[in-house]
Amino acid sequence: MKSGKCFRFVVVLLIVMLGGFLISGWTAKEDLRFVKSLGVGWNLGNTLEPYDLHFETSDPAIYETYWNNPITTKEMLQDIKQAGFSVLRIPVTWQDHMDDNLQVNEAWMDRVQQVVDYGLEAGFYVIINAHHDQWYYPDEENLPRAEEMMQALWRQIAHRFESYDERLMFESMNEPRLIGTDKEWGSGTPAARDVVNKLNVAFVETVRSAGGENAKRYLLLPAYCARAETAAFEGFYLPKGSRMILSVHLYTPYRFAQSSSGTDVFTPESPADTEAIDQLFSDLKRLFIDKKIPVIITEFGAVDKDNEQQRIIWANYILKKAKKLGISCLWWDAGGDAGKEISYSLYDRYTRTWRFPKLVQALVNR
């Protein structure tokens, strides 16, 4: 080859290689920008995820109201959107609605789709998941069955929603963990983390191959237990491709955010209160954001202890750090009986009123 032709060949080769790099880099940056644009969201908790009712029924309404919430209406979700929330996560449990051939009950799928449509019509970005499904217990012995269930379930979901655009996102699992063991709520074991990774791969491959808008749908993936644990994050494997988002939960510090008998005060100047939060965001930056992997905190919240102002201080501390990294945060709202234990609930679904309007304003006015 003559020197001139050789030179041109090298230049063309470099352009092709560089072009591929730029396209890949642009895609990753676009994913980060997408999540950054989402803002703050809200969970329709304890609604479509009840399971093990101890009696047989195929009526979706019985499941939807079993954990003390009313039937979800368009008007409820319009209230949430008008308050300023922009993302709606709809936790769904599927295992009680699948037959021996792993087919999802049509009435249940229809109801899930109806609530998704309510959310989209209200103007939300919407996330649906597999929430309390016990078939994804992450150990090697269970892996073949779990992969089979993962593929069967998400193939049906992906086909049902194949024409829905990027405003609808799928999340593979919720807090996949070794339930009932001493490793349940930590970072798990290397083997368990590996199984979670393999199930995430099965999920991504299934959705991507389902056709339609699924080829470019944003997919959310948890590490082991979706926990704020360094070892769980370091053991996480991101499948090949783009438009994938890490899903993580934040309920720290435990004594303030979760324990009903713990402290009702959060002090930003106290390392005892902030150390775990600071470590989480440091890990998210180092292991994900710096590598252009976007993150959504799909659940966060602090239980009510008649301390709205302290919860505002706590939420502001978290949201300031999240905003700096372009991380979207979704409040966990489990609803519940009016007049009874309020817990994390912000919105009374029976009266369609806000229980903690000042906290809501602090969340949405970022």
For the chain, list the domains and their CATH numbers: 31-364 (3.20.20.80)
What is the rounded average pLDDT of the residues 91-119? 98
The enclosing H or E element of 90 equals strand 87-90
Q: Which residues contact 98 (CB under 8 A, 6 or more apart)?
A: 104, 105, 149, 152, 153
pLDDT higher than threshold 90 for residue 5: no
Give per-residue pLDDT as tens, 222-274: 999 999 999 999 999 999 999 999 999 999 999 999 998 899 999 999 999 99
Burial readout 174-211 (b: 16 or more C-beta within 10 A, e: otherwise): bbbbbeeeeeeebbbbeebbbbbbbbbbbbbbbbbebe
Per-residue pLDDT band for 3 (boundaries 50, 70, 90) equals very low
Per-residue pLDDT band for 14 (boundaries 50, 70, 90) equals very low
Per-residue pLDDT band for 16 (boundaries 50, 70, 90) equals very low
pLDDT higher than threshold 80 for residue 45: yes
Q: Using alpha carbons, list the distances in angstroms from residue 220 to 10, 129, 145, 203, 286.
A: 40, 9, 22, 10, 19
Per-residue pLDDT band for 341 (boundaries 50, 70, 90) equals low
| % pLDDT > 90, the chain | 88
Q: Calculate helix-pair angle for 143-160, 106-122, nearest 10 degrees.
A: 60
The vertex-260 CA angle with 258 and 265, nearest 5°, equals 75
Q: Which residues contact 10 (CB under 8 A, 6 or more apart)?
A: none
What whole-number distance in Å separates Cα of residue 342 and Cα of residue 303? 8
Give per-residue pLDDT as tens, 290-317: 999 999 999 999 999 999 999 999 999 9
Active site residues: 175, 299
At residue 176, what is the residue type? P
The enclosing H or E element of 311 equals helix 308-325
Give per-residue pLDDT as tens, 19-28: 333 334 447 8
Q: What pTM does this model have?
A: 0.92
pLDDT score at 6: 46
What does DSSP say about strands 347-348 and 353-354: parallel, antiparallel, or unpaired? Answer: antiparallel
The number of beta carbons lying within 10 Å of the beta carbon of residue 60 is 20
pLDDT higher than threshold 80 for residue 342: no
pLDDT higher than threshold 70 for residue 151: yes
The enclosing H or E element of 286 equals helix 271-287
pLDDT score at 23: 33
Tell me how far apart the 2 most distant CA atoms of the chain are, in Å. Answer: 85
Closest CA to 137 of 196, 97, 92: 196
Reduced to 3 states (helix: H, G, I; strand: E, B; else coil), residue 362 is helix
pLDDT higher than threshold 50 for residue 163: yes
State the average pLDDT for the chain.
92
pLDDT score at 340: 56
Tokens of 75: 């008007």
pLDDT score at 366: 75
Q: Which residues contact 346 (CB under 8 A, 6 or more apart)?
A: 42, 331, 333, 354, 355, 356, 359, 360
At residue 167, what is the residue type? R
DSSP state of 97: G
Tokens of 304: 């009510």
At residue 238, what is the residue type? L
What is the rounded average pLDDT of the residues 152-170? 99
Reduced to 3 states (helix: H, G, I; strand: E, B; else coil), residue 127 is strand
pLDDT score at 10: 38
pLDDT higher than threshold 50 for residue 15: no
